[in-house]
Chains A and B, each alone.
Chain A
Amino acid sequence: MVLMSISLDEVQHVAHLARLDLDEAELLAFQGELNALLGHFEDIADLDVSNTLPKPHAVALLNVFADDMAEDGLPRERAMGNAATTRAGLFLVPKIIED
């Protein structure tokens, strides 16, 4: 299996998905770094893992339940104390829907 190298357009697309505003120089730098790393990922591309189940956890647990009990959470003011802007007890975000 041969993995593809990544184009500048793809780097730009990934940066958009990741919500990272990158300048031209950074995009080029990450293109280089990603391609170098993708080259190393070829190491595992040819390994036979057809009979191996993926291991998503270090130590797998099943069905972790908590007692259904009400507990006091953080008071709203304290939970929101680090927000850039709030109004009427709500986080204020920049406009999402254009006029």
Chain B
Amino acid sequence: MSLTTLSAAELGRLLSRRDVAAREVAQAYLDAIQRKDPTLGAYLTVDPERTLAEADVAQSKIDAGDAGPLGGVPVAIKDNISTADQRTTCASKVLKGYIPPFDATVCTRLRDAGLVGLGKVNLDEFAMGTSCENSAFQLTHNPWDPDRSPGGSSGGSSAAVAGGIAPLALGSDTGGSIRMPASLCGVVGFKPTYGRVSRYGLVAFGSSLDQIGPFGRNVEDAALLAAAISGHDPRDSTSLARPPIATDALRSGRLHGIRLALPLELMSDAAEPGVLDSVRAACAKLEAEGATVEEVSTPSVRYGVTTYYLIAPSEASSNLARFDGIRYGSQVDGSGHVGTVAATRGKLFGHEVKARIMIGTYALSAGYYDAYYVRAQQVRALMAQEFETLFDRFDAVISPTSPVVAFRLGELSRDPLALKLLDTCTIPANMGGFPAISIPCGLSDGLPVGLQLMSPVMSDEKLLQLAWAAEQVLGSLDLPLG
């Protein structure tokens, strides 16, 4: 038995029965990282001493009966989530050397539940990208084929979980940054309802869209991690005053009588035939178990990418104004105060981050605000309403997560629009705040295809039950964990 091939739930059970010690599990993963990460490039920071010390704390919690079902289980953390006294770079030169003096709420909750931090994983700089290639520090490779992208922006999280160098990971999702890489790596990625997981300590990108969520190798693992990090947080004023996500009824999920809507616009020619075949085959399997799948039309999704690329950069241009090189991060000398700030930002932000700051600054500037930003918010309202109306008749919307399987590194990096269009299926959930999950549903050309399920605001538990039931029918992939 290899500890690194077990699911997180299985590991948690072994740990709670004290069949294995938290330190042993942590060490097994640290060894796997040392062996495999030079090829995968998932981790930006690994600190074995810190991880082993956290494992000892977790063990005391397990021994005292204070740990949750994931007590002693390691977790990789996307490097835009603040970890006290451990560098947090957002994969940007502007935060090189930055050591947060506080923990994100999700990190406090991980520790309270007895989880063990394995290290910080790679992302597109400030979570802006779809391939993880915008990291200022390194490329991350897809464990299914090292020449291919793990997806983005949470590409380090998806590669670590699929590649057997983390049983669980946290990511963040602004327009699909959890679900899309989960799809490309054949793992489960879940974006909870906006506000169910605190954003305190998540370095802000698009504040009205950002949401932290879990990666796991199956639905149960992702659900247990979601349960550990969710719940109201007074430190985030957009946090919903609701209890943590419950998982006790997860295995009561049934497909019989479930009504699924399949938007034709998300099954368009823009998607690869292999992806569409795989999603159609999955729908047939769910129907065979008593679910109904009805084709519907959601014309607003055509405007999703355009709307997203106005709202997210506008919010980013404001959020990223804080990186001035004065209070934290690196500084580049310039002439006077404005010169120093502009030199710092001009030299240390990467191209994509600067592009989005430019778009956002333009869209918010005098004379253009109504034509761009306000109009985008109106279209956002139309999109949200369109899906809310669907939810009157359907339990969930089903679609591909990504229109493509994992693409080659470098293949799309010179075509920014093609990369942005990959977010078409995932953007609606961020626009409406809906929970959405990607689960693997098969292979196309030997690479994983992701199936997305999306449901109404605050129906996270029902969505996870549905995804669990679907997983029982669709089976899981043979991940390259070894």
**Interface of A toward B, CB cutoff 8 Å:** 1, 3, 6, 10-11, 14-22, 26, 29-30, 33-34, 36-37, 40-41, 43-45, 47, 49, 52-59, 61, 64, 66, 74, 78-84, 91, 93-96, 98
Q: How far is the CB of A15 from chain B (nearest CB, A)?
A: 7
The answer to whether A43 and B303 touch (CB under 8 A), given A18-B358, A19-B345, is: yes
Near A by CB (< 8 A), chain B positions 365-398 give 365, 371-372, 374-382, 384
Do B375 and A45 touch across chains, with their CB atoms under 8 A apart?
Answer: yes
Q: How far is the CB of B129 from chain A (nearest CB, A)?
A: 15
Do A81 and B345 touch across chains, with their CB atoms under 8 A apart?
Answer: no
Question: Of B309, B324, B371, which contacts A45 at CB under 8 A?
Answer: B371
Question: Of B238, B306, B355, B372, which contacts A43 at CB under 8 A?
Answer: B306
Inter-chain CA distance A18–B430, complex, in Å, is 26
Question: Of A34, A47, A59, A74, which contacts B362 at CB under 8 A?
Answer: A34
Do A59 and B433 touch across chains, with their CB atoms under 8 A apart?
Answer: yes
Nearest 10 pairs of A and B residues by beta carbon: A58-B433, A21-B346, A54-B377, A82-B328, A58-B194, A49-B378, A55-B381, A21-B342, A59-B433, A18-B361
Across the two chains, which residue of chain B brings its CB closest to A23? Answer: B346
Q: How far is the CB of B83 from chain A (nearest CB, A)?
A: 14
Sampled A-B contacts (26; CB under 8 Å): A6-B362, A11-B358, A14-B362, A17-B361, A18-B317, A18-B345, A19-B321, A29-B351, A30-B354, A34-B362, A40-B306, A40-B309, A41-B372, A44-B376, A47-B382, A49-B375, A58-B194, A59-B238, A61-B195, A61-B237, A64-B238, A74-B101, A81-B99, A82-B98, A82-B99, A94-B336
The yes or no answer to B414 lying at the interface (CB within 8 A) is: no
Over the window 304-344 of chain B, the binary record of Cβ atoms lying under 8 Å from chain A Cβ atoms (1 yes, 0 no) is 01110110000001000100111111110010111111110
Do A74 and B345 touch across chains, with their CB atoms under 8 A apart?
Answer: no
The answer to whether A44 and B334 touch (CB under 8 A), given A58-B430, A81-B99, is: no
Inter-chain CA distance A40–B313, complex, in Å, is 15
What B residues does A91 contact at CB under 8 A?
A: 326-327
Do A58 and B195 touch across chains, with their CB atoms under 8 A apart?
Answer: yes
What is the predominant secondary structure among interface residues of chain B facing chain A?
helix
The yes or no answer to B438 lying at the interface (CB within 8 A) is: no
What B residues does A18 contact at CB under 8 A?
A: 317, 345, 357-358, 361
Question: Of A10, A44, A78, which contacts B303 at CB under 8 A?
Answer: A44
The yes or no answer to B80 lying at the interface (CB within 8 A) is: no
Do A21 and B306 touch across chains, with their CB atoms under 8 A apart?
Answer: no
Inter-chain CA distance A10–B341, complex, in Å, is 20
Inter-chain CA distance A11–B377, complex, in Å, is 24
What B residues does A40 contact at CB under 8 A?
A: 305-306, 309, 417
Across the two chains, which residue of chain A brings its CB closest to B320? Answer: A18
* Tally of contact residues, B, Cβ under 8 A: 72
Do B382 and A49 touch across chains, with their CB atoms under 8 A apart?
Answer: yes
Question: Of B307, B330, B336, B361, which contacts A95 at CB under 8 A?
Answer: B336
Q: How far is the CB of B351 from chain A (nearest CB, A)?
A: 8
Across the two chains, which residue of chain B brings its CB closest to A53? Answer: B381
The answer to whether A44 and B331 touch (CB under 8 A), given A30-B354, A58-B432, A82-B98, is: no
Do B378 and A54 touch across chains, with their CB atoms under 8 A apart?
Answer: yes
The answer to whether A49 and B362 touch (CB under 8 A), given A21-B346, A30-B354, A61-B238, is: no
Across the two chains, which residue of chain A brings its CB closest to B332? Answer: A21
The answer to whether A55 and B337 touch (CB under 8 A), given A18-B361, A37-B359, A82-B328, is: no
**Interface of B toward A, CB cutoff 8 Å:** 97-99, 101-102, 193-195, 208-209, 234, 237-238, 240, 302-303, 305-307, 309-310, 317, 321, 324-331, 334, 336-343, 345-347, 349, 351, 354-355, 357-359, 361-362, 365, 371-372, 374-382, 384, 416-417, 430-433, 457
What is the predominant secondary structure among interface residues of chain A facing chain B?
loop
Do A44 and B341 touch across chains, with their CB atoms under 8 A apart?
Answer: no
What A residues does B302 contact at CB under 8 A?
A: 43
Do A61 and B240 touch across chains, with their CB atoms under 8 A apart?
Answer: yes
Q: How far is the CB of A42 from chain B (nearest CB, A)?
A: 9
Do A20 and B377 touch across chains, with their CB atoms under 8 A apart?
Answer: no
Inter-chain CA distance A37–B376, complex, in Å, is 14
Do A54 and B381 touch across chains, with their CB atoms under 8 A apart?
Answer: yes
What B residues does A58 contact at CB under 8 A?
A: 194-195, 208-209, 430-433
Apart from A1-B371, A52-B381, A98-B336, 13 more pairs, CB < 8 Å: A3-B371, A6-B362, A14-B358, A16-B342, A18-B345, A33-B355, A34-B358, A49-B379, A54-B374, A61-B195, A82-B328, A82-B329, A93-B337
Do A36 and B379 touch across chains, with their CB atoms under 8 A apart?
Answer: no
What A residues does B380 contact at CB under 8 A?
A: 54-55
Interface centre among A6, A52, A55, A95 (most CB of B within 10 A): A55
